[in-house]
Amino acid sequence: MKRALGLLLTLAVACSADEFFEKKIRPVLVEQCYACHSAQSKTPMGGLRLDSMGALLKGGDTGPAVKPGDKNSLLLRAISYRDLNLKMPPGGKLSDERIADFTRWVEAGAPGPTQVAAPAAASSAGLDLERARSFWAFQPLPPPDPKRTIDSFLRAKLKENGLDLAPAADRGVWIRRVSFSLIGLPPSPREVNDFVNDQAPDAYRKVVERLLASPHYGERWTRHWLDLVRFSETNGHEFDNDKLDAWRYRDYVIRALNQDVPYDQFVREHIAGDLMPNPRLTPDGAALESPLGTSVYWFGEVLNSATDSVKSRADQVDNQLDVVSKAFLGLTVACARCHDHKFDPIPTLDYYSMAGYLHSTALRYAVIDSPARAREIAAAHAGIAAHNESIRKLLASSLPVRSDAAPTIREGDELFAEFDSYDGWDLTGEAFRPGPRREVPPNQPLKGYTGESIASSFGAGTDRLVGSVTSKKFIMPKLWVHVRLAGTKTGLALRERAPLRVTVVADDHPSQHFFPDGSPGFTWKSIRMTKEIGRTCYIEIVDRDRGGHIVVDKIVFSDSKEPPADPPIPENAPIRLEDINPTLVSDLQARRAAIEAQFPHSAWGMIAGDEDPHDVSVHIRGSHKNLGVPAPRRPLQILTKTVPKCEGSGRLGLAQWMTTDAAPLVARVMVNRIWRHHFGRGLVPTTDNFGKTGERPSHPELLDWLAARFVESGWSVKAMHRLMLNTEAYRQSSRVEATASQIDPQNHLLHHMPVHRLEGEAIRDALLNISGSLNRDMYGRGVRPHIGKYQDGRGKPASGPLDGDNRRSIYIQVRRNFLTPMFLAFDYPLPVSTIGARTSSTVPSQALMMMNNEFAAEMAKRWAGKVAAEEADPVQRVEMLYRAAYARLPEDWERREAIAFAEKRSWQDLAHVLINSAEFIYVP
Amino acid sequence: MFHRRAAPSRREMLCQAANGFGGLALLSLLREQAGAAAHHPARAKSVIFLFMDGGPSQMDTFDPKPRLKRDHGKPLPFQPPTTVFNISDKMLGSPFTFRRYGQSGAEVSELFPHVAECADDLCIIRSMVADHSEHTAANYFMHSGSGFQGRPSIGAWVTYGLGSGSKNLPGFIVLESGLIPPGGLDCFGSGFLPASFQGTLFRSGEHPIADIEPIDKQPGLQRDKLDLLARLNRGVLDRFGPVNEIEATIANYELAFRMQAEVPDLLDFSKESEATRKLYGLDEDLTSAFGRECLIARRLVERGVRFVELLTPAHKGLDRWDQHSGIENGHRVNAKSTDKPIAGLLKDLKSRGLLDSTLVVWGGEFGRTPCAQFPDGSYVKEVGRDHNPFGFTMWMAGGGVKGGTVWGATDEFGYFAIENKVHVHDLHATMLHLLGMDHTRLTFRYSGRDMRLTDVHGNVIGGVLA
């Protein structure tokens, strides 16, 4: 290849050859640089070619490589290894002699051959969006033909291939199939019996309706949804810190599915639920629902000590964009981070236009009380304030006069906050309202209080209040942070889970905490910002404790390890009201206690908030150190008819766009996901990729018809289930006919129902169910996972119970670094990106787990115990076991084998074998 | 894409698997035989990766820097890049002395007297470069070529490419003695590859794998259960028709049963000679834990296991090789506990003729800075070094590697690799190359792309190949 290039240059050089260039410069370029920076490399790295003078002068993505005469030319900087981030050639520095040659050459004006071969097009400039719009996935939806049915679409294709749908499966098979499909639990023997004997024409429909009305439906389908949003309740990385309130998102999805919230609303809530003018409320009216959708942004991994804040944020945004675009749009937008998407019409500019929305959005742990609830809380707070005001009036003359002396701010100190106001801070909840306090309530003795204003969560005088104040982001400027604070003692070991704390959050990692220690007055707490200095941080003051409070006077950044000197503490101790008027006091206290006893609860969420709305620039080759043109915030061009308005972060406009301009794609992607879960394979098998590299739909008209019906139904997910489940296709047997398997071995045409294996979660739930253990409690903080001796590492949590309190698997905490082994063995997806279609592998750990794990054995024991307690006759017992596990009666030989085995060994051992059977974990 | 000899193509099978169907299960079971799909003749059949969790210091082990001794205590003459703790700027000379060993004359510090005896088998790469300064990301990166959770570990890629090589054991096994690196078990995960390729963690102790110990203690009970199960499952096949997954599930129980028998046999050292035990340091307190790992590693390789990773043992008061302080003592203890076992492993493999077909790789997720971390003016004995991914040392031996070689160099401070840089992607490419695979063709379709261990990077390092 060297020869080919030599030839190219020889031609060029023939016109004007400079000896120095030929002897000293060109050979080095050819030898050291051309592999990556010439016509011979398919895509020249950094867009830079060095195989012609024109190319050298033109340069690459970062600008001209050589400016004749300029010692600071990029090429010279690169080969001198002066810059940290630009060192060329990458394999090692050139000799000093060669570097000197290059320097001389550039200084001399870079003489070289002027005539060069015309450079090929530098990069894929300009996508033809109009042409790209003709791709199937970007087409509008045709109006749905009301006369068609799913079966008619499928039959038409089957008929073309000389095939038909398989005959209906046994009723027992069908009800087991649909039960797992909709609620993730096996049908009870009674449900099977009722259905098998129900001769009414709508017997099938009634089962579907019963299951859709079950609260377990939401639990089952929430797990599918969580796979799409890389749901996790911890940050992973070194210490696996908690994501507080992540579980509330899980509950939000369960409720939304059970209530059949229109999917377009659900999508908009994910993008901008915090910004909606009329948010949905929880069923009790106490909390906002819509903002919880925005938890979706924050389930990703968080580095515990990012050395480069900007890169860390860019990576976070990349993951957010990846998840949002795959989950809703079925597009791999993240591929366009470093270059225009290689296959889909998504230029890099679009990537950064979309990224701008996310760069304008910050994580907020916020109180999400409904307006009504917030008013109730404010009223209760006002009641407390009124009582304390009465006391204050009585005491007016005896209250100590505060000196106004402030701590001494020294040279090298930077006063970050003294709470004259909350300007620049975000307030949530009631505790810190209405603003910083200068009056300490009479029921709060606060030693060392100087009369300066403070951030206090004690409000007008009660521990019941919760809330937080959060600073804007800033770059940590100093090595020490000193906080002068007071308040109720809290659990230090809880770290970010402590309900009262001042936390320095560095690159979204809750990095350092200042805790009140319960001492009667202010104390300074000092922490060295070893890892935080120079990084993007914010500070939050948190009170999530209904029985405690926190008070912060000053936050000082400093060069000094020692905190500033305290002001002189006022001599006159607060006067005890009890000494003045004991009767009145006890009366007022009783009335205050009555309010406190009824004090309404607040709800929290891990949500999004707008912060510092701004456009970002294209990161050339994905590098944040190499910025290109600005990318105005707007959605993907390929799907945009009207660019939405961009107020604040602009997410509200983006949300609208998702369900207007992008609606056909959003609908197609979602109906395909539902189809995949019912029929085992998507009409588009690549459920998360509807782009060019994804597969084409096997039944394009059917997909469009379903999507159109979906939109027509008001985006009702339950309507889609009805449509798909009340079909002959779904009633088919899973037995394959020989001819069909020859004509269509992969079953793309759906000539039989594919057998599918249950997920680990469904297997566990089924075990709990048949053994009579299932705890049907819904919602709430998750159960800690059971940690076996084979799980280890930093951030290891205390183990939860072996049986997970018998709760459904959806309520087992998803701790990123300590995922549940039983789920993992059965292909649980890592919470990394969108997974619409789990793999289904067969590995020894599955067999070992079902054979030898104490949980499986315990379930077998309970199941056998339950059956033994209910039935003495062995024949009946075997029938009970079979009906519970497989929704059918045993055949004669099975009954004989089972009884013989149970008599030789035990009923528990028989139960253990039955749950190990393939029939238990496979659904035909 | 990886090409198999037999139809259907591997991609087809895996695509089916990714959609919950098809023969993946069969695939993983049937591909136990070695070398099913090499791109070119392999030099190595197995890999033993001695992962030095925490990041050993290059200038204290295999990359002597006299300049640091000369200028000990002086500030670096340039502005160093941001490091995790960001408080090291004064040079720290190595407290250890170096000597030349073997015919090649490779320089090794006093920390590794036994490994040094094998100097002529080592190819010492002094110019390693990684992308991350912080443990978790660096660990993910060293294992998977990406600084984030969720990519397949190199052991998973290798097993995906070549199959297990053992009928009774998984293809990718990780041995530990009480320390899991930051990032956790995901360092050994299968990412988007099917779960059958994930690393199986063998803990120390009698029952190294979860659920490997039969729960049925009565004699013959488990066999009885499996026999009944086999009969019931045949009934399921009759009932469902011929379904690949169900056939695979049946075979899977037999594999699990064989594993139950194989693992105790693997851990039974009674047939190992006294000399062998001594060679690995099993008779000494400090070396017994890692010695055990090394001996198991040899026995796994003998059984055809494709990729064995060894994790460093836990020592009270030491945070792995991560000596931000107390580097002198910390590195001494870490080195001492691994030096003899590693040398024992190399010598034992060689004497059994296994070294030629086993690639041994030693190194951490990054190296350390040339500067002392003097937190708040602590004593010299207490100083340590910060993380340094810009230049560090790893070594390889056996399996097609040119022994007695020193490859690449760092600058005079040992801070930056400057000559023949070997990026982690290059290391991965080279390891795959030695196993007979082209890193650009070992791919798995995920998220619309043919994913690779080396992403879009990586060059095979010709200079280290024998």
Residue range A189-205: average pLDDT?
Answer: 97
Band the pLDDT of A73: cuts 50, 70, 90: confident
A890-904 pLDDT per residue, tens: 999 999 999 999 999
Q: For A894, which residue in chain B has the nearest alpha carbon?
A: B232
Q: For residue A261, what pLDDT is reported?
A: 98
Q: For residue A252, what pLDDT is reported?
A: 98
Q: CB–CB of B28 and A841 under 8 A?
A: yes
- Determine the angle formed by the axes of helices A874-886 and A189-196, rounding to 10 degrees: 80
Residue A891 in tokens: 């055949």
Distance from CA of B273 to the nearest CA of A (A): 30
Residue A256 has pLDDT above 90, yes or no: yes
Ranges assigned E (strand) in A326-444: 361-367, 413-417, 425-429
B284-296 pLDDT per residue, tens: 999 999 999 999 9
Band the pLDDT of A527: cuts 50, 70, 90: very high
Q: For residue B422, what pLDDT is reported?
A: 97
Q: CB–CB of A917 and B233 under 8 A?
A: yes
A300-309, A382-391, B151-160 — which one is most confidently predicted on average?
Answer: B151-160
Distance (Å, whole) CA A820 – CA A812: 8
Q: For A824, which residue in chain B has the nearest alpha carbon?
A: B195
Q: For residue A591, what pLDDT is reported?
A: 86
Q: For A673, which residue in chain B has the nearest alpha carbon?
A: B19
Q: For residue A551, what pLDDT is reported?
A: 96
Band the pLDDT of A737: cuts 50, 70, 90: confident
Residues 6+ apart with CB under 8 A from B24: A839, A840, A841, A842, B13, B14, B16, B17, B194, B196
Residue range A549-556: average pLDDT?
Answer: 96
CA-wise closest residue to A469 among A392, A527, A552: A552
Give me the percent of chain A exceeding a pLDDT of 70: 93
DSSP sequence for A370-392: -HHHHHHHHHHHHHHHHHHHHHH
Residues 6+ apart with CB under 8 A from B218: none
Q: For residue A23, what pLDDT is reported?
A: 67
The CA-based angle A467-A468-A474, given to 5 degrees, is: 170
Contact A753, A783 (CB under 8 A): no
CA-wise closest residue to B150 among A841, A241, A830, A793: A830
Q: For residue B75, what pLDDT is reported?
A: 87
Is the torsion defined by CA of B343, B344, B350, B354 positive or negative? negative
Under 8 Å CB pairs connecting chains A and B tally to 269
Q: CB–CB of B242 and A851 under 8 A?
A: no
Q: For residue A226, what pLDDT is reported?
A: 98
Q: CB–CB of B182 and A794 under 8 A?
A: yes
Distance (Å, whole) CA B406 – CA B98: 15
Q: For residue A745, what pLDDT is reported?
A: 80
Band the pLDDT of B382: cuts 50, 70, 90: confident
The CA-based angle B55-B60-B65, given to 5 degrees, is: 120
Contact A308, B84 (CB under 8 A): no
pLDDT mean across residues, chain A: 90
Q: pTM for the complete prediction?
A: 0.80
Q: CB–CB of A841 and B196 under 8 A?
A: yes
Choice between B361 and B170, residue whose per-residue pLDDT is larger:
B361
Residue A735 has pLDDT above 50, yes or no: yes
Q: For residue B87, what pLDDT is reported?
A: 59
Ranking A446-460, A623-637, B100-114 by mean pLDDT, the lowest is: A446-460
Q: For residue A825, what pLDDT is reported?
A: 85
Cross-chain CB nearest to B18 (options A754, A830, A839): A839
Band the pLDDT of B88: cuts 50, 70, 90: low
Residue B78 in tokens: 């340039």
Helical segments of A771-843, H only: 821-825
Number of H helices, E strands in chain B: 12, 19
Exposed/middle/buried for A556, CB within 10 Å: 0-12, 13-18, 19+?
buried
Q: Which residues of A752-772 are buried (b: 16+ CB within 10 A; e: fewer)?
A: bbbbbbbbbbbbbbbbbbbbb
Residue range A41-64: average pLDDT?
Answer: 80
Distance from CA of A480 to the nearest CA of B (A): 13
DSSP sequence for A238-266: TTT-B-TTHHHHHHHHHHHHHTT--HHHH
Contact A281, A370 (CB under 8 A): yes
Q: For B314, which residue in chain A has the nearest alpha carbon?
A: A793
Write down the ipTM of this complex. 0.81
Distance from CA of A288 to the nearest CA of B (A): 33
Distance (Å, whole) CA A150 – CA B365: 54
Q: Checking DSSP bridges between strand A536-543 and strand A467-471, what pairing results, if any?
A: antiparallel
Residue B14 has pLDDT above 80, yes or no: no
A658-707 pLDDT per residue, tens: 999 999 999 999 999 999 999 999 999 999 999 987 889 999 999 999 99
Residue B465 has pLDDT above 90, yes or no: yes
Q: CB–CB of B195 and A922 under 8 A?
A: no
Cross-chain CB nearest to A689 (options B149, B257, B448): B448
Cross-chain CB nearest to B246 (options A791, A916, A922): A922
Band the pLDDT of B138: cuts 50, 70, 90: very high
Residue range B77-102: average pLDDT?
Answer: 83
Q: How far is CA B331 from CA B57, B322, B374, B384, in A?
A: 8, 9, 17, 10
Q: CB–CB of A754 and B241 under 8 A?
A: no
Q: Which residues of B touch A236 (CB under 8 A)?
A: 136, 149, 184, 186
Q: CB–CB of A92 and B252 under 8 A?
A: no
Ranking A26-30, A393-397, A610-614 by mean pLDDT, the lowest is: A393-397
Q: For residue B281, what pLDDT is reported?
A: 96
Band the pLDDT of A340: cuts 50, 70, 90: confident
Q: For residue A118, what pLDDT is reported?
A: 30
Number of H helices, E strands in chain A: 33, 17
Distance (Å, whole) CA A545 – CA A464: 7
Map tokens 């098979």 to a residue: A173
Q: Which residues of A touch B186 (CB under 8 A)?
A: 236, 817, 830
Distance from CA of B352 to the nearest CA of A (A): 31
Q: For residue B380, what pLDDT is reported?
A: 59
B316-356 pLDDT per residue, tens: 778 799 998 889 999 999 999 999 999 999 999 999 999 99
User: Long-range contacts of range A659-665, CB-CB < 8 Å, 24 or more positions apart?
Assistant: A659/A264, A659/A267, A659/A268, A659/A715, A661/A635, A662/A328, A662/A329, A662/A635, A662/A636, A663/A264, A663/A711, A664/A138, A664/A139, A664/A140, A664/A141, A664/A707, A665/A137, A665/A138, A665/A329, A665/A330, A665/A331, A665/A639, A665/A690
Q: Which residues of B touch A922 (CB under 8 A)?
A: 236, 240, 243, 245-246, 249
Q: Which residues of A touch B214 (CB under 8 A)?
A: 851-852
What percentage of chain B's residues is helix, strand, coil (to nearest 5)?
Answer: 40, 20, 45
Distance (Å, whole) CA A895 – CA A533: 71
Q: Which residues of B touch A842 (CB under 8 A)?
A: 24-25, 28-29, 196, 245, 248-249, 252
Choice between A726 and B202, residue whose per-residue pLDDT is larger:
A726
Distance (Å, whole) CA A233 – CA A241: 9
Residue B79 has pLDDT above 50, yes or no: yes
Q: For residue A202, what pLDDT is reported?
A: 97
Q: Which residues of B touch A691 (CB under 8 A)?
A: 448
Q: CB–CB of B212 and A847 under 8 A?
A: no
Band the pLDDT of A127: cuts 50, 70, 90: low
Residue range A711-727: average pLDDT?
Answer: 98
**Residue A691: what are its φ and ψ, rounded to 5°?**
-85, -170
Contact A913, B232 (CB under 8 A): yes
Length of chain A measured in residues: 924
B390-413 pLDDT per residue, tens: 999 999 999 999 999 999 999 999
A875-891 pLDDT per residue, tens: 999 999 999 999 999 99
Band the pLDDT of A86: cuts 50, 70, 90: confident
